Structures are given as structure tokens and as C-alpha cells.
Structure 1
């Protein structure tokens, strides 16, 4: 009996096949597209998924300024930031966030869906969000995926 055929192989950083993926966020609901982006960043869409390995793909998000939210969340929902100093807590609505920094709205949503540890910070570096349709990653030839 050949015992090598029954050997379990785990994916590690050297054998992880990281691809480049393009996501168009135009007219997509923020939470739904953010959860799918987080899933691709973790690598859960791959059959060889291993939780302790960074095997997710690089995700390029375009049209971040055209993402949509349901209901009255543009005005009634707030994102909170804290500088660490007394009186340093700030809040901003998604409407103001898109006007000032359109890419940060998707970044903030995806970051909250990633693990809160070293792996999550490493995975977040694979996310590239742009407000318009132009991005500098054309040489990587990202494949467009639809959610």
C-alpha cells in the first residue's frame, strides 16, 4: 500500500498561489460587497484554504465612490475613530466619508470583517481601493469577478 497517497498536504506561504482580482463596486451594497472582498482576501474561496496561512488574493476595488447603502444609512449611521487622547473621539457619516475619502468607506468596512490579529493586518495589505475606474495595477492583469 502506498502511504504517500494518503498524506495530508497543507498549503504554506511558499505554495500559496496568490492571484490579482478586480472588483467593480459600482451600484453594489456596501456590506455585501465588503463581505465578499473579505472572503477573497482570506482565501476562503479556494479549495486548499488553510486558516493559518495568507493564501488570499490581491483585490483591486474600483468605483468606490459609487457604492450604495440601503435605507437611510448615508445619514443615520456613523463611523467612530479614537485618537487615544481625551476628547479625541470623532464620528463621521458615510456621506461625509465618501466626499472626503471615497476609498476609506470600503477599507473601513472590509477591515472590520478581517481577523483582529497579525494575520488580519497582513491580509489588509492585499486590498487596493480606488475611487474611480483608473488603477495602477494593470501590469498584474487582474481578473474581474462579479458578486
Structure 2
């Protein structure tokens, strides 16, 4: 058994992909469910790079009707923003929040979400990690 602990870097192009379907695919890779050595209590060695996050697709009228909520922790600190405005201002935040909602709510979730790298454009600084090139351009 060689290269059991080797890091796998997976690049996914988000151009034209649906938000929820992409988030489920990312969560499967982060959890390591695509490997035969999957164990729910262990971290997988998968890192996921998302490019073109600003060109993500949402079905129906969710761009105008769906609202994203956040709270500052102070009284009256509820902030609401439509999904369309959130994607325009910070597309990585929207994708990260949807992936985080699909991860298990335990101690590993923060460690898993740090293995997700999201970029709005096509360029990213992780080209040296992709030398073994395990890419997924759907």
C-alpha cells in the first residue's frame, strides 16, 4: 500500500454548474466518500479547488427570491441579502456556505471546509499541487 497518505488535489470548473448539485459533489470529495478507504471519523486527503465560481448557475427564481441571512451577534444585527446580490458581491461565500451546510455538524467540519479553495476566476495559485492532475471539468 503505497501513497495512502498522499494529498489529492481535485479541480472543478463551476462555470454553468448548478449550485446545489455542485455543493453535493464537493462535499463527497471533501469527506472522502469517493475512496474505498472512507471512514466517517477520519479526515480524507482530498483538497478541492473551485474555479469560475462567479459563473455559477441557480435554477428558478432563486436569484431574486431566496435570501441569505447572517447575524452580527448584536441586537438588530440581522443582515439579509438576495442570492443574486450575494453571488455578484462574493460568489465564494455563497458556495462555501452551501457546502458547509452539506457537511456533517461535528469537529471535522471546520477542518474539512479549510480544504476547500474557491476562486471567482479561472486562475488559482495551486498549480504546483495539481502536477499529478486529478481534475474534474464537468
Relative to the length of structure 1, the TM-score reads 0.86
Would you say 1:122 and 2:115 are equivalent positions?
A: no
* Partners of 1:56 and 1:38 in 2: CA distance: 13
- Of residues 116, 134, 138, the one that matches 1:143 is 134
- Of residues 35, 42, 47, the one that matches 2:24 is 35
Structure 1 residue 104, shift from structure 2 partner: 1.0
Structure 1 residue 99, shift from structure 2 partner: 1.5
* Partners of 2:137 and 2:21 in 1: CA distance: 12
Structure 1 residue 117, shift from structure 2 partner: 2.2
* Partners of 2:72 and 2:105 in 1: CA distance: 18
Q: Which runs of 5+ in 2 are unaligned?
A: none
Structure 1 residue 18, shift from structure 2 partner: 2.7
Q: Which runs of 4+ in 1 moved over 6 A?
A: none
Q: What is the RMSD of the two structures over their aligned residues, measured on CA atoms?
A: 1.3
Would you say 1:53 and 2:42 are equivalent positions?
A: yes
Contact 1:56 1:123 in 2 (8 A): no
Structure 1 residue aligned with 2:75: 86
Report the structure number with the largest CA radius of gyration.
1
Look up the SS of the partner of 2:70 in the other structure.
strand
Look up the SS of the partner of 2:120 in the other structure.
coil
Q: Which has the higher strand share?
A: 2
Relative to the length of structure 2, the TM-score reads 0.91
- Of residues 64, 88, 98, the one that matches 2:87 is 98
Contact 1:81 1:91 in 2 (8 A): yes
